[in-house]
Structure 1
């Protein structure tokens, strides 16, 4: 099976798993960590072009699991995290990873945050090495083993 096909299948499987856990994913910590993860993936290469910003914002708005939260609130949190990353990527990443760490206390939420990162990263069909690296770093932040997610 080609890498692209495995990636699509993996992202689809993770989205299905997230939907199954939707009712357990309603905390503010999960919301904050998820938006931080989305921003990390969007800015993984150190830059965010307007089309990428818009694409990720649309994915957030259409993600079934994230519909537990008001869309405008999610977008505001995503944009705030992106602003930190685009102002100074290295410094902003420290702050954004602190947001990701909010999900560490609940293993199901921590795993769901990583799965959201993979779903967002793979949505364009290219879960590139920069995106994989920030998701792997988030795994360490959350105390999860990256190999659990094939990273």
Structure 2
């Protein structure tokens, strides 16, 4: 199976797993960690292009799990995290990873945040090395083995 096909299959599988947990993913910590993860993946290469912002906006608008939260609130949190990352990526990344780590004690939420990162990373058909690296870092922050997510 080609890498692209495996990536599409993995992202689809992650989305299905998120849907199965929709009712368990309603905490403020999950909301904050999910938006931090979206920003981290969008800024993984050090820049954020309009297409990446659009992918996250589309995810916020269409993802059933994220519909547990007001879309405007999610966008604001995403943009706040992006601001931290674009002002000073290294310093901002520390703050954003700390936000992600807040769900560490809730395994279902922690896994869901990683799955969101993979869905965002694969949305353009290219889950590149920079995106994989930041999702891997998030796995470590959450105490999850990256190999569980093929990272």
* Equivalent residue number for residue 131 of structure 2: 131
RMSD of Structure 2 on Structure 1 (CA): 0.7
CA deviation after TM superposition for structure 1 residue 51, in Å: 2.7
> What is the CA distance between 1:64 and its match in structure 2?
1.1
Q: Any runs of at least 4 consecutive aligned residues in structure 1 with deviations exceeding 4 A, and if so which?
A: none
Q: After superposition, where does 1:1-151 map in structure 2 within 5 Å?
A: 1-151=1-151
Greater CA deviation, 124-133 or 48-57? Answer: 48-57
* Structure 1 position 111, deviation (Å): 0.4
TM-score under structure 1 length normalisation: 0.98
Residues 55 and 123 of structure 2 are in contact (CA less than 8 Å); yes or no, is this contact kept in structure 1?
no
* Aligned 8 A contact 2:15 2:115 in 1: yes
Question: Where in structure 1 are there 5+ consecutive unaligned residues?
Answer: none
**1:34-75 deviations in whole A, cap 9, x for unaligned?**
000000000000000123212222222211111100000000
What are structure 2's unaligned runs of at least 5 residues?
Answer: none
Residues in 2 aligned to 1:88 and 1:61: alpha-carbon distance in whole angstroms = 28
In 1: Cα distance, 2:102 partner to 2:46 partner: 23
User: What is the distance in 2 between the residues matched to 1:62 and 1:84?
Assistant: 25
Paired with 1:135 and 1:54, the residues of 2 have a C-alpha distance of: 20
